[in-house]
Structure 1
Amino acid sequence: MADDTLSADFVVIGSGIIGSLTARKLAQAGASVLILEAGPRVTRDEIVARFRNSPRRSDWMSPYPSVDSAPHPIYLPRDNGYLVQAGPYPYPAEYIRMVGGSSWHWAAQAWRNVPSDFEIKSLYGVGVDWPLSYNDLEPFYQEAEDIMGVSGAPNTGSPRSKPFPMEPVAEAWAMRRLRERLAPTYQVVSNTTARNSRGYDGRPACCGNNSCQPICPIDAQYHGGLAAGSAEAAGVKLLANANVYQLEHDGQGRVTAALYYDPGKQSHRVRGKTFILAANGIESPRLLLLSSSDKFPRGLANHHDMVGRHLMDHPSTSLTFDADEDVWLGRGPQSPSSINTMRDGAFRAQHAPYRLDFTNISRVDSASANLISAGVYGIEFEKRLRHSAAREMNLKNVLEVLPRPENRITLSADKDTMGIPKPQAHYAIDEYTRKGHERSTQDFKRVAELMGGTNLRPSKEGVFANNQHICGTLSMGSDPATSVCDQWGRAHGHDNLFLASTGVLPTSGTCNSTENALAVALRTAQYILAEQGKAGVARPASSKSS
């Protein structure tokens, strides 16, 4: 092992939006902060070039190749086997290990939970309650939105103390026609997104490239690369290609060092006073499990075998149909509008809530591939391609999954290219979620009917698409027997180890996990600063104790 002398007040593991903005907040208070990122640095120009040159334009991971020194899951053109599947239902999570993390290729959905999401056990008898309330988190939602530049409809079901930082991006024609034709049966609203509708924080307004996934070519959309850059501008030191494989601790359970491999598999040690684990909901529990010792044979923060449990996401089923007018999907953001009436209600005692999300992705690529596969060429190809490009529409549900201990991340017996045990997913979709899907099919049919829909093509029965909203594997809670960290993100049993990740979310709700986890992380950072007396920050108040 190299005799390294790197150290900092705070060592943050993971440079995605959450890790980078947590580090930024700590550095702005005057602390020395070091981020360790497993993957390499990459620029937006490189990613855009890879996307433009990719033979698989619909494969949103093609601009983000896995590297041997920090592998991540790749499924096309074949599964690289990094995330081992234990079943009974496949969980093909896609995430990126590089500076900036997976939000390089997100859709920038920045929804807040609705207040009821924090107490579904008390209100509906399902899942668990959070150890904090919506009101506890509201100012940190606002802080996150001010940083990223978020816009949305005023009637999302999530109360606000201040307006959105900006107005929504201009409504696409197809979404306008949906809004007009579905009213008053359904209220179609603009999605809440971290995407500029005007110049904001030195970045331009959205110009409608329709490639938000896998990459916004002009940075109108916020992402982790921008967050990492802002952290470095605040004084954070960021070390790429530093694949952390173990956390060391002292006799009291305090973490003393992080061990990482460089690309040549040379091991290095980094010391710190406080450690913040900010990788995603798969890599974070993996590292805790890898950090086993004589004192902690199950790994860190795992006294009650809770690390990795309660894996959640947002499964989706969908309906594709042909409208009775030309709507021409493909101009503007890919996921601009939705229906939110089924996000909350007494029905949650019986079945999963959901959002209905409309796609605005150009149909040219997918329709061309389907026609060529069917052997259609010449004049008939041109005719049918134009019809699909002009009239094809698609909507999907975004379903809640309840926290179930059987759904979990463990260590596989297989090892990756660095000789580290791979993560293994144990996953199933229960009746609560399936019943939500069944209820949503009524909405699918009604929406198609209101749009004069023909040629209805539902997704394959019993098959759920994965939305890559990994959460739950580091669940926060008041009881160490059923959770991994407290409401402030402090790992149970380790005074100087904090968790800032989508994994800490104890329930999944119906919205993408990033903004919720970022708000929780910013609250954690403020708590840490107050506890350590830095920058004169007052300890934040809470309506609930940890």
Structure 2
Amino acid sequence: MADQLTADFIVIGSGIIGSLAARKLALAGASVIILEAGPRVTRDELVARFRNSPRRSDWMSPYPSVPWAPHPIYLPADNGYLEQAGPYPYLAEYIRQVGGTSWHWAAHAWRNVPNDFKIKSLYGVGVDWPLTYEELEPFYQEAEELMGVSGADNTGSPRSKPFPMEPVAEPYAMRRLRERLAPVYEVVGNTTARNSRTYDGRPPCCGNNSCQPICPIDAQYHGGLSADAAEAAGARLLPNANVYKLEHDAQGRITAALYFDPDKKSHRVTGKNFIVAANGIESPRLLLLSASDKFPKGLANSSDMVGRNLMDHPSTSLSFDADEDLWLGRGPQSPSSINVMRDGAFRSEHSPYRLDFTNISRVDGATRSLISQGVYGVELEKRLRHSAARELSVKNVLEVLPDPERRIMLGAEKDAMGIPKPRAHYSIDDYTRKGHERSKQDFARIAELMGGTNLRYSKEGDFANNQHICGTLSMGNDPKTSACDKWGRAHDHDNLFFASTGVMPTSSTCNSTENGLALALRTADHILAQQARRST
């Protein structure tokens, strides 16, 4: 072993959730060490990589996998990091570097609607959360103020305070969608962690239309900013520190984290409390890797629930040509949606969903498609202009119910550091497929209202993945059916906490980051309150 470090809190993972939980603890006076498996990369490096990438539509191209902290890469070929056990492939994309995957997110910052917390009681499906919307609401607000969220009040989620900012300016294409769909659908601006004015020293959105893979001016919030904020608050962040095992004492308390540096030299970090804050794949992987004689199934896993109930938000879509020029590509990439199917009695029968409109420029995709068809010269110019001006796309964002057979396990193969890779068992059940079938009625009606022609539905049976990994560390009141309690504390270890989208018991219909962050801030608040009580 090399050097030894120690702190009050050891946080594993430097994404938005881990870093902002670490920041809150550090501001309260605790010593905090953040261990991040991947490297530290600056925004200007990432922007340069994107501009120089030959694959402009590949949002992972600026984020290569490094040998000492690999992550899944699928283009130009699958790197095989995430093993697939089926029956449906789970092509998760995430980034292991300081700041995590939100470097290239769409910045959606939706709250759950209140009924999302009690779908078992109301609709007889899934499970109820061990807390209510009202209990989480103050921490939603805290998360939104930290990130800088802009939005309007027509979200379906009650608020005690207004959004930190008014919505980002509506792109022309989305305004036309809103106006033309108004007789049937209410099109609303997405709530996003994106500045509509100068906020926290960062500029307003200027419409670069490259939110994914990188906002070039930091108008959009990301985990790199969170990591900076944690360090400014006093936390110490160690990049290139790939944690491969947690150790415990005879009583089951976690005592140390072991990590490899890029040269595969092992280091040991001790602490009073440990917070696993990696994503819903890497977090259960670490717990399973930490099996011992006392905990042969892995840490926090006496009930065999670690890694189970893997959920995401599958999507199907429709592309078509509108009957007027709209010119997608001006402004943010994902600015507007329809939310009328997020909740209702139908949830007892089929998945709810959001309908999300893209505003991504069609030039790159249309050019590649036309050239692949052998179209060149004057005809290429004519057809490219038509596609760039008139092509539209709408997708659903479908709920997946928790199912213990959908899970993350340790794979048979090992990565370059000699650590078993993660293996995904995933499926799309009838509940979600029925939601997809219902959404096709909305797709067709939207196309009709926009004078749509050349309708292209996504291939039947194919579901795109939205990279909203959740459920693998589910919280609950019963230790037999959950990995942690409602505060994020592992049932099996009193000084081990989870701060991750993995703790979410259900997936709802909205991107998971704000939910995971609100839960983590609530966990940090609970830890500090408990410590304050013990000291009085």
TM-score range, shorter chain: over 0.9
For residue 512 of structure 1, what is the amino acid of its counterpart?
N
Q: Which residue of 2 aligns with 1:112?
A: 111
Q: Which residue of 1 aligns with 2:300?
A: 301
Q: Which residue of 1 aligns with 2:417?
A: 418
Q: Which residue of 2 aligns with 1:332?
A: 331
For residue 272 of structure 1, what is the amino acid of its counterpart?
G
Quote the Cα distance in structure 2 between the aligned partners of 1:286 and 1:335: 32
Quote the Cα distance in structure 2 between the aligned partners of 1:79 and 1:153: 40
Report SS of the residue matched to 2:454.
Answer: strand
Report SS of the residue matched to 2:4.
Answer: coil
Quote the Cα distance in structure 2 between the aligned partners of 1:152 and 1:221: 13
- Deviation digits for residues 224-252 of structure 1, max 9, x if unmatched? 00000000000010000000000000011
- 1:30·1:534 contact (CA, 8 Å) conserved in 2? no
Q: Which residue of 2 aligns with 1:223?
A: 222
What pairs with 1:97-496 in structure 2 (closer than 5 Å)? Answer: 97-496=96-495
Quote the Cα distance in structure 2 between the aligned partners of 1:81 and 1:166: 42
- 1:29·1:535 contact (CA, 8 Å) conserved in 2? no
Q: Aligned-pair distance for 1:536?
A: 9.0
- 2:4·2:267 contact (CA, 8 Å) conserved in 1? no
- 1:190·1:336 contact (CA, 8 Å) conserved in 2? yes
What pairs with 1:517-532 in structure 2 (closer than 5 Å)? Answer: 517-532=516-531
Q: Aligned-pair distance for 1:413?
A: 1.2
Q: Which residue of 2 aligns with 1:509?
A: 508
Quote the Cα distance in structure 1 between the aligned partners of 2:96 and 2:533: 31
For residue 80 of structure 2, what is the amino acid of its counterpart?
G
Quote the Cα distance in structure 2 between the aligned partners of 1:87 and 1:284: 20
- Deviation digits for residues 189-237 of structure 1, max 9, x if unmatched? 0001000000000000000000000000000000000000000000010
Quote the Cα distance in structure 1 between the aligned partners of 2:412 and 2:125: 34
Could you list the structure 1 runs, at least 4 aligned residues long, displaced by more than 3 angstroms after superposition. Answer: 534-537
Q: Aligned-pair distance for 1:153?
A: 2.2
Quote the Cα distance in structure 2 between the aligned partners of 1:497 and 1:336: 38
Q: Aligned-pair distance for 1:155?
A: 1.2
Quote the Cα distance in structure 1 between the aligned partners of 2:338 and 2:533: 44
Q: Aligned-pair distance for 1:265?
A: 0.2
Report SS of the residue matched to 2:408.
Answer: strand
For residue 505 of structure 2, what is the amino acid of its counterpart?
P
Quote the Cα distance in structure 1 between the aligned partners of 2:28 and 2:475: 25
For residue 165 of structure 1, what is the amino acid of its counterpart?
P
Report SS of the residue matched to 1:457.
Answer: strand
Alignment RMSD: 0.9
Report SS of the residue matched to 1:498.
Answer: strand
- 1:37·1:240 contact (CA, 8 Å) conserved in 2? yes
For residue 124 of structure 1, what is the amino acid of its counterpart?
Y
Q: Aligned-pair distance for 1:151?
A: 1.3
- Deviation digits for residues 384-432 of structure 1, max 9, x if unmatched? 0000000000000000000000100000110001000000000000000
Report SS of the residue matched to 1:332.
Answer: coil
Q: Aligned-pair distance for 1:535?
A: 12
Q: Aligned-pair distance for 1:66?
A: 0.2
Quote the Cα distance in structure 2 between the aligned partners of 1:337 and 1:388: 20
- 2:195·2:205 contact (CA, 8 Å) conserved in 1? yes
Q: Aligned-pair distance for 1:534?
A: 8.0
Quote the Cα distance in structure 2 between the aligned partners of 1:418 and 1:532: 38
- Deviation digits for residues 324-376 of structure 1, max 9, x if unmatched? 00000000000000000000000000000000000000000000000000000
- Deviation digits for residues 267-296 of structure 1, max 9, x if unmatched? 010000000000000000000000000000
Report SS of the residue matched to 2:532.
Answer: coil
Quote the Cα distance in structure 2 between the aligned partners of 1:30 and 1:237: 13
- 1:152·1:193 contact (CA, 8 Å) conserved in 2? yes
Report SS of the residue matched to 2:425.
Answer: strand
- Deviation digits for residues 79-132 of structure 1, max 9, x if unmatched? 000000000000000000000000000000000000000000000000000000
Q: Which residue of 1 aligns with 2:27?
A: 28
For residue 226 of structure 1, what is the amino acid of its counterpart?
L
- 1:529·1:535 contact (CA, 8 Å) conserved in 2? no
Quote the Cα distance in structure 1 between the aligned partners of 2:287 and 2:4: 23
Q: Aligned-pair distance for 1:184?
A: 2.1
Q: Which residue of 2 aligns with 1:543?
A: none
Quote the Cα distance in structure 1 between the aligned partners of 2:49 and 2:460: 34
- 2:339·2:354 contact (CA, 8 Å) conserved in 1? yes
Quote the Cα distance in structure 1 between the aligned partners of 2:32 and 2:7: 6
Report SS of the residue matched to 1:286.
Answer: helix
- 2:504·2:516 contact (CA, 8 Å) conserved in 1? yes
Quote the Cα distance in structure 2 between the aligned partners of 1:508 and 1:412: 25
- Deviation digits for residues 293-326 of structure 1, max 9, x if unmatched? 0000000000011000000000000000000000
Q: Which residue of 2 aligns with 1:540?
A: none
Quote the Cα distance in structure 2 between the aligned partners of 1:81 and 1:533: 47
For residue 185 of structure 2, what is the amino acid of its counterpart?
Y
Report SS of the residue matched to 2:269.
Answer: strand
Q: Aligned-pair distance for 1:439?
A: 0.1
Report SS of the residue matched to 1:269.
Answer: strand
TM-score (normalised: structure 2): 0.99
For residue 274 of structure 1, what is the amino acid of its counterpart?
N
Q: Which residue of 1 aligns with 2:41?
A: 42
- Deviation digits for residues 485-539 of structure 1, max 9, x if unmatched? 00000001100000000000000000000000000000000000011118999xx
Cα 1:535–1:96, aligned 2, differ >3 Å: closer, same or farther? farther
Q: Aligned-pair distance for 1:5?
A: 2.4
Quote the Cα distance in structure 1 between the aligned partners of 2:7 and 2:413: 34
Quote the Cα distance in structure 2 between the aligned partners of 1:492 and 1:264: 35
Quote the Cα distance in structure 2 between the aligned partners of 1:20 and 1:535: 25
Q: Which residue of 2 aligns with 1:544?
A: none
Report SS of the residue matched to 1:356.
Answer: strand
% identical aligned pairs: 82
Q: Which runs of 5+ in 1 are unaligned?
A: 538-546
- 1:286·1:411 contact (CA, 8 Å) conserved in 2? yes
Report SS of the residue matched to 1:166.
Answer: coil
Quote the Cα distance in structure 1 between the aligned partners of 2:393 and 2:111: 24
- 1:242·1:260 contact (CA, 8 Å) conserved in 2? yes
For residue 299 of structure 1, what is the amino acid of its counterpart?
G
Aligned residues: 536
